[in-house]
Amino acid sequence: MAYSHLSDIYRPGFGLLTDLYELTMAAGYYNERIHERRAVFHLFYRTPPFDGHFALAAGLPLAIDLIENYRFSVDDVQYLGRLKSGDGSALFREPFLNYLQRMRWTGDLDAIPEGEIVLPHEPILRIEGPLIQVQLLETALLTVMNFSTLIATKAARIKAAAGDDPVLEFGLRRAQGIDGGLTASRSAYLGGCDATSNVWAGRYYGIPVKGTHAHSWVMVFPDELTAFEAYADALPANCIFLVDTYDTVEGTRNAIRVGQQLRERGHEMNGIRLDSGDLGALSIEARQLLDEAGFPDADIVASDSLDEYAITKLKAEGARINVWGIGTRLATGHDQAALGGVYKLSAIQDAEGHWETKVKASETAEKSSNPGILGVRRFTENGRPTGSQLFNELDGEPSNEVMQHGQRHVLSGTPENILRPVFRDGKKVCEVPDLSSSRATAQKNWQHWSTLDWSQYHYGISPNLQAEKRTLLNQKS
């Protein structure tokens, strides 16, 4: 049985999964008696990862479980009660701590479904509820959404480069800690990887697990041939031999010798793995040796610091690799350390319950946030994306126009609001697809979006939203 919840893996509660300033702000809201005013935050990113045009939304089931189990235990509250201010007094007052212990999620959440494409500034999550609740969730939600989306996007890029070849995620040993490895394996599978070496992820997320052996296996035995024979005795139906411990070509010949022994016993060698050297040239030579020896179906698996760029280059060189093991450069995001997603307040109710829209000003235009309760409309024509619009739902139904780089464009096609209700008044109102279903959705969407002519695709904010944003920014200047 596979599980898919954070609460199946970690002790539920999650209240302390936060930065201290979230709690000091929450204490301030409580002190000012504004903590239960309704507010709206949006979680989004500004710059597409890996110099691309878009990202693959990932991590929503983790965020849902986190919200459902977000609370402060007695032990949590006692710990917070022991924290001190600069003068040695208690950092948090007892009434506030008692409030935290009783607090349960009562807000709303709307989200772009996992496996969907998300563009810059489009909210991946829209969180609405009592100010203290939606503020306290900031760090935890960014933690699960940023990394998941980054790695799913990287995996989709790698899978696109590999084409029909299987891609295996091998990154646990280089991942950013235990949960970094677990989340990376889940996100990589969502993004298109076919299996993982991470047995923990296989156990909890139902991901197929694959693995061979290490150089240490070969080094334990007197020689390479003996090592391969011993491995074949132990696991006769799972023989992919790592052939580069000493000499890759001779290692391939030894694998063939043991493959012939396996065949005599009614088994078939699965293949070989290359982990160093000129992978392109070595794969061509190994393929010739395998074919001549009667093993045309034996796989050639490659590892060794691979990513989408290396795969593309090797394929262009005529490499005969047909299975790709991707480790460090996938599980860590490698060429981009973080997604850079942010969590910004965009609206809050006043004492009478009227909405006040908010904007973060910045000397860098890219960092100015958008005000209101934001919706995202995606336009399609004959099943193809044609445009996307960010608008303020407080303004009612928008026109089909967007402002992009100072120019007005009219979007064609049929619009659909892609933010979906997840929670209403603290209760989950949707069914969350399993990981395999979201993976299929992700692969379909990636194929559609990766072939877009971006000179013809327009996305931006509605004219009304732009006018409102300009007015608010002028008020701040």
pLDDT one-digit tens code per residue, 153-209: 999 999 999 999 999 999 999 999 999 999 999 999 999 999 999 999 999 999 999
- CA pair distance 62, 120, nearest whole angstrom: 22
* pLDDT, average across residues 82-96: 97
**The predicted structure's pLDDT at residue 141:** 98
**The predicted structure's pLDDT at residue 138:** 98
Report the percent of the chain where pLDDT is more than 90.
Answer: 93
Domain extents in the chain: 6-151+337-476
| pLDDT-derived band at 411, boundaries 50, 70, 90 | very high
Q: Identity (one letter) of the amino acid at 139?
A: T
The single residue listed with the structure tokens 């997604």 is 339
Please, which residues have CB within 8 angstroms of residue 97's CB and are 6 or more apart in sequence?
77, 80, 81
- Which is higher by pLDDT, 382 or 295? 295
| pLDDT-derived band at 361, boundaries 50, 70, 90 | confident
* pLDDT, average across residues 410-435: 96
| Lowest-confidence region among 310-319, 326-335, 361-370, 409-418 | 361-370
Which of 344, 354, 415, 379 is closest to 126 using CA atoms?
Answer: 344
Specify whether the CB–CB gap between 330 and 168 falls below 8 A.
no
**The predicted structure's pLDDT at residue 232:** 98
Specify whether the CB–CB gap between 335 and 436 falls below 8 A.
no
Strand order in the sheet with 384-392: 407-410, 401-404, 458-461, 384-392, 374-381, 414-417
Q: What is the pLDDT of residues 191-201, one digit of tens each?
A: 999 999 999 99
Predicted TM-score (pTM) of this structure = 0.96
| Fold that domain 6-151+337-476 belongs to in CATH | nicotinate phosphoribosyltransferase (3.20.140)
Please check the confidence at residue 130 and state whether its pLDDT lies above 80. yes
| Lowest-confidence region among 86-90, 294-298, 452-456, 472-476 | 472-476
Mark out the alpha helices in 103-191 (DSSP H runs): 131-136, 138-162, 177-191
Specify whether the CB–CB gap between 262 and 241 falls below 8 A.
no
DSSP single-letter state for residue 209:
B
* pLDDT, average across residues 385-392: 96
- CA pair distance 170, 397, nearest whole angstrom: 47
Specify whether the CB–CB gap between 373 and 40 falls below 8 A.
yes
Please check the confidence at residue 1 and state whether its pLDDT lies above 60. no
Q: For residue 211, what are the CA distances in angstroms to 163, 189, 331, 350, 373?
A: 21, 15, 16, 58, 47
- CA pair distance 150, 37, nearest whole angstrom: 33
Which of 312, 333, 56 is closest to 190 using CA atoms?
Answer: 56
* pLDDT, average across residues 20-38: 98
| pLDDT-derived band at 213, boundaries 50, 70, 90 | very high
Q: How many helices (H) and strands (E) does the chain have?
A: 17, 23
Please, which residues have CB within 8 angstroms of residue 316's CB and are 6 or more apart in sequence?
none
Specify whether the CB–CB gap between 74 and 98 falls below 8 A.
no
